[in-house]
Amino acid sequence: MQNVVPLMPGFIPVVRDDAYIASKHTIRGKQVVKRLAQGLEAHVFDDGIDLGVLEQEVWTKGTYQGRVGTGHRAAFDRFIWRSPVAIGRRIQAGRPDLPLYWVEIKGKMVKGKWLYHLVPRPRPAGP
């Protein structure tokens, strides 16, 4: 399911990609399961985290980072906020879990819409 903000005259539609968030950033997500099976790390939100609340915190208290990095990474606008409590964890077989406090909204234009998702992070994105 996607959270869609209606199109208003002079504005572009904004869509939160909940399916992508579930696949890439939840413990039972398809992409997470695949990465862990390959011995790679995954950044996941803790069960029970309210993404709507986190998103609101980023929009009201967060900071716009702009477009960070090079190549495909530079295509995304990024907004970041640090929670006072852990909101997720970095997991990888053979390593202790690392609590994650940063929430990033990462988005770009796709077919006339600004498509974005939330990401739990260990720190703001860097170059």
Question: pLDDT by residue (tens digit) across 11-52?
Answer: 788 899 999 999 999 999 999 999 999 999 999 999 999 999
Report the distance separating Cα 81 and Cα 58, nearest Å. Answer: 5
73 is a domain residue: yes
Render pLDDT for 3-21 as a digit per residue (tens, 0 to 9).
544 445 567 888 999 999 9
Range of the domain at 51: 13-121
Band the pLDDT of 93: cuts 50, 70, 90: confident
What's 7's DSSP letter? P
Task: Please state, in angstroms and rounded to a whole number, the distance separating the CA atoms of residues 6 and 121.
Answer: 29
Rounded CA separation 46/29 (Å):
12
Residue 8 in domain: no
Q: Has residue 74 been placed in a domain?
A: yes
Mean per-residue pLDDT, 58-79 = 83
What per-residue confidence (pLDDT) applies to 90? Answer: 97
Mean pLDDT (whole number) for 70-97: 88
Neighbours of 101 (CB within 10 A): 16
Higher per-residue pLDDT: 118 or 9? 118
- Percent of the chain at pLDDT > 90 equals 69
CB neighbourhood size of 43 (10 A): 20
pLDDT at residue 1, as a whole number: 40
In a domain, 31, yes or no: yes
Whether the Cβ atoms of residue 62 and residue 121 lie closer than 8 Å to each other: no
Does some domain include residue 18? yes
